[in-house]
């Protein structure tokens, strides 16, 4: 994790001369690098908003993880994804591009990771949005009304494919 230099970390130095920099450990630098195609698309989309359609398309094809309080097995297929509250107070499902992007505090609350395709998540949601990699630099959110639009686009595509 990144840590900010504090005066206490510089014993014997004048605090006014202490650097005001954030130090990254090698693990942080490694973790921040995109490792999957979807993460590469997400990073590109963060730098170029005109790629947002490509990011959503990559998400729909990508395998992502959600956290559940109960283990999902052949006998117990009823998963209850962990919900977070976004800044506007709406509930969103927390999704992650890889297991290493899941903060340990979330694992404490919901210890079971379930791998699923992005399109499957969109199909399953009802009046709920989602956030990918909450709290991470490689993050984005789709609110409930955005999910409804994606669901409608999926229905339209299915109708076109059947015609």
Q: What is the pLDDT of residue 12?
A: 42
Number of Cβ atoms within 10 Å of the Cβ of 46: 15
Contact 61, 117 (CB under 8 A): yes
Binning the chain into helix, strand and coil, the percentages to the nearest 5 are: 45, 20, 35
Q: What is the pLDDT of residue 73?
A: 81
- Residue 163 — very low, low, confident or very high, per pLDDT cuts 50/70/90? low
pLDDT tens string 101-128: 999 899 999 999 999 999 999 999 999 9
Mean pLDDT of 62-90: 89
Find all residues with CB under 8 Å of 3, minimum gap 6, and list them: 22, 23
> Domains in the chain, ordered, with CATH?
63-162 (3.40.1350)
Q: What is the pLDDT of residue 54?
A: 92
pTM (predicted TM-score): 0.75
**Which helix (H) or strand (E) is 58 found in, with range?**
helix 52-61
Contact 67, 82 (CB under 8 A): yes
Q: Please state, in angstroms and rounded to a whole number, the distance separating the CA atoms of residues 41 and 129.
A: 20
């Amino acid at each position: 994790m990144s840590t900010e230099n504090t005066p206490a970390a510089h014993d014997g130095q004048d605090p006014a001369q202490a650097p005001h920099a954030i130090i990254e450990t090698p693990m942080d630098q490694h973790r921040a690098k995109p490792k999957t195609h979807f993460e590469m698309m997400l990073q590109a989309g963060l730098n170029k908003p005109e790629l947002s359609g490509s990011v959503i398309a990559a998400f729909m094809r990508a395998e992502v993880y959600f956290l559940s309080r109960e283990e999902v097995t052949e006998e117990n297929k009823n998963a209850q994804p962990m919900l977070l509250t976004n800044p506007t107070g709406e509930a969103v499902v927390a999704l992650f591009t890889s297991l290493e992007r899941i903060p340990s505090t979330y694992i404490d609350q919901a210890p079971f990771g379930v791998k699923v395709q992005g399109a499957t998540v969109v199909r399953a949601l009802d009046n709920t949005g989602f956030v990918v990699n909450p709290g991470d630099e490689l993050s984005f959110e789709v609110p409930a009304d955005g999910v409804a639009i994606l669901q409608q686009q999926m229905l339209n595509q299915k109708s076109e494919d059947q015609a």
